[in-house]
Amino acid sequence: MQSLSSPFALTPTTTVGELAASRPSSTRVFSRRGIDFCCGGGKTLEEACRRRGLDPQEVLREIQQELERGAGEPVAWTERSQAELIQHIVAHYHEPLREELRRLHGMALKVLRVHGEKDPERLSQLADTFVLLKDELEPHMEKEERILFPWILSGRPVPQGGPIERMMFEHEQAGQLLVRLRELTGNYEVPPGACNTWRALWNGLEALERELHEHIHLENNILFPRASGRA
Ligand SMILES: [Fe+2]
Ligand SMILES: [Fe+2]
């Protein structure tokens, strides 16, 4: 169970990224409340709440409750080695993501082909946006696995303005495409009368968003700051 008092007190001026990294269960609250803790991790809790029309004190109370609950606490990756974290990212996020991108692409094309006439503009924009996301993420993971992660594992400092900033920029691009997918799917509300493939596509895309937020959070807020000497 995480300490409630260390490594620093919870305040509205703490950044969302620091909270997510130091108290992993806070990410459950962020997901529930729609607070972006991966690409938006540099914002203070106060700013992030303001954007969502939420009361920061209320959100802090919810985080405290999650911490007190304790059971099923996610792993505190700040306390693990970079090698363990990289191994976890590749096994738990990259490999399943490659598979999921192929599966969901097939489903998006099938829904467009079979049901395209019901909502042609939205379904074709959805398929196009999904392809942009897939084309962004597949080479992105390759670059991480072939260039950046081995560099970090070698122990050499990663230079400023280099591969880390490039990867963070690509995370931002992916984050914007996720926002677009959420808009196009009406917040993943399954339309009445949708077939099983349509329903499974909406559910699969929502799960993809959740997993990507966690994945990008581990890289942006824990792995990269440590690799560049910022944490
Ligand atoms: Fe990654
Ligand atoms: Fe990444």
Task: Quick: pLDDT tens for 91-123.
Answer: 999 999 999 999 999 999 999 998 888 888 999
Four-way CATH pick for 80-227: 1.20.1070, 3.30.70, 1.10.3470, 1.20.120: 1.20.120
Q: How far is the CA of 208 from the centre of ligand 2 (A)?
A: 14
Alpha helix (H) ranges present in the chain? 16-22, 26-33, 45-52, 56-69, 82-88, 95-115, 120-143, 149-154, 163-184, 196-217, 224-227
Q: How far is the CA of 164 from the centre of ligand 1 (A)?
A: 11
Residue carrying the six token digits 């080695």: 81
- Listed in sequence order, the residues at least 6 apart from 193 whose beta carbon sits closer than 8 Å to its beta carbon are none
Q: How far is the CA of 195 from the centre of ligand 2 (A)?
A: 33
3-state DSSP call for residue 15?
strand
Q: What is the distance between the alpha carbons of residues 205 and 3, in angstroms, rounded to a whole number?
A: 34
Q: How far is the CA of 83 from the centre of ligand 1 (A)?
A: 14
Q: What is the pLDDT of residue 224?
A: 94
Q: Which of 19, 141, 158 is nearest to 89 (CA)?
A: 141
Region 138-150: what's the mean pLDDT? 97
CATH 1.20.120 in the chain: give the residue spans.
80-227
Q: How far is the CA of 218 from the centre of ligand 1 (A)?
A: 9
Q: How far is the CA of 137 from the centre of ligand 2 (A)?
A: 8
Q: What is the pLDDT of residue 2?
A: 39
